[in-house]
């Protein structure tokens, strides 16, 4: 009887983990990743052992064709890495354990690059804008201030040793 109860609890945990993984996937879509990236990362981060593409396919109920390229992309961002495998044919993956480093790496490689492009494009527009009737000067100035603030916030966040501790530091 205890074995049945344990099995039901395990099945419920697996289902809840799948739901959480897909929710995390929804959340990180706002960071410019795809839902599958967040779902895979959550599965790997919470797993006690490295997982293969086949195991991830089973756990998430998604196709290998969707998961396999996402694994490569996550490895490129250093969010996950290939772990020692049980045999030569199977690749297994695990999530980077230091979430702080992962977030900082993404901010420095992706968000900083995107924000730099926005800043450059804004500068070009600002320099070429000569009292045109098409653009509201006060809104252009306001947009410039928003871009400056975004750059400053990214710089502040990126300079933190422990980004996950920042909210607690700000409460003090």
DSSP track, 62-121? --HHHHHHHHHHHHHTTSEEEEPPSSSS--EEEE-S-HHHHHHHHIIIIIHHHHHHHHHH
Indicate the pLDDT class of residue 122, thresholds 50, 70 and 90: very high
46 closest CA partner among 23, 73, 72, 68:
23
DSSP designation for 164: G
Ramachandran area for residue 38 (φ above 0: left; ψ -120 to 50: alpha; else beta) = alpha
**Higher-scoring residue by pLDDT: 142, 18:** 142
Question: How far, CA to CA in Å, does 6 sit from each of 1, 3, 11, 12, 19?
Answer: 9, 5, 9, 10, 20
What is the predicted pLDDT for the residue at 111? 84
Q: Name the phi and psi angles at 66, rounded to 5.
A: -85, -40
- Assess contact for 139 and 96: CB atoms under 8 A: no
Per-residue pLDDT reduced to its tens digit, 12-30: 888 888 888 888 888 777 7
Which range is least confidently modeled, 10-19, 57-66, 113-122? 10-19
What integer best gives the mean pLDDT of the chain? 87
Query: 63 Cβ partners below 8 Å, 6+ apart?
Result: 57
Alpha-carbon gap, residue 159 to 169, rounded angstroms? 14
In this prediction, residue 131 carries a pLDDT of: 62
């Amino acid at each position: 009887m205890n074995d049945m109860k344990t099995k039901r609890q395990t099945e419920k945990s697996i289902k809840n983990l799948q739901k959480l993984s897909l929710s995390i996937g929804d959340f990180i879509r706002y960071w410019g990743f795809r839902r599958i990236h967040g779902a895979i990362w959550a599965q790997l981060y919470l797993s006690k052992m490295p997982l293969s593409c086949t195991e991830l396919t089973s756990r998430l109920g998604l196709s290998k064709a969707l998961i396999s390229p996402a694994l490569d992309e996550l490895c490129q961002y250093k969010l996950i890495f290939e772990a020692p495998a049980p045999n030569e044919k199977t690749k297994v993956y695990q999530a980077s354990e230091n979430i702080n480093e992962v977030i900082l790496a993404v901010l420095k490689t992706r968000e900083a690059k995107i924000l730099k492009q926005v800043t450059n494009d804004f500068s070009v527009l600002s320099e070429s804008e000569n009292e045109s009737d098409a653009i509201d000067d006060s809104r252009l100035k306001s947009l410039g201030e928003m871009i400056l603030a975004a750059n400053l916030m990214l710089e502040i966040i990126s300079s933190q040793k422990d980004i996950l501790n920042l909210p607690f530091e700000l409460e003090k």
